[in-house]
Amino acid sequence: MVSENLYIGKQQYFTALFYLFFTVFLANMLGMLPFSFTITSSFVVTFFLALTYFLGLNLIAIIRYGWEVLNLFLPAGAPLVIAPFLIFIEAVSYVARVLSLSIRLFANMLSGHALLKILIGFSIALIAAYPVMPILAALP
């Protein structure tokens, strides 16, 4: 399936994407162990992963295609009158992807931990308040 969707020249980057995927996957799975810490629930780690891949991909693009990469920031057929505004907006949205991806992963991991702590606290409070309800307290 991967070889059908990737062109021959782009398959050389598959190992880097595979490594990133399994780094995040294993970090999140380790967080499922009791009394362990998920490193992706730290904003610094997720920002570092996103920034290094962003810089690496842009460096590879500049080396491979030269300064033609800057054509990303001006859509084809755009009027020249609004070109400076379009370039600025496209550049900001392109750089904002780094923050967006890192904040999304960080927030998802942190909210999952917060939800588990709330549910466990609710279960303990339910058992303490009504000693006849340990079965109901086990549901959350």
DSSP 42: S
Mark out the alpha helices in 31-82 (DSSP H runs).
43-65
pTM: 0.71
Q: How far is CA 2 from the centre of its chain?
A: 21
Rounded to the nearest integer, the mean pLDDT of the chain is 83
- pLDDT at residue 64 in the model: 87
Of residues 138 and 45, more confidence is placed in 45
Q: How many domains does the chain have?
A: 1
Q: Give me the domain span that covers residue 29.
A: 2-137
| Helix, strand, coil percent values for the chain (each to nearest 5) | 80, 0, 20
49-55: long-range pairs with CB below 8 Å, 24+: 49/20, 49/23, 49/24, 49/102, 50/97, 50/98, 50/99, 50/101, 50/102, 51/98, 51/102, 53/16, 53/20, 54/97, 54/98
Task: Give mean pLDDT, residues 104-111.
Answer: 85
Distance from CA of residue 134 to its chain's centroid? Answer: 38
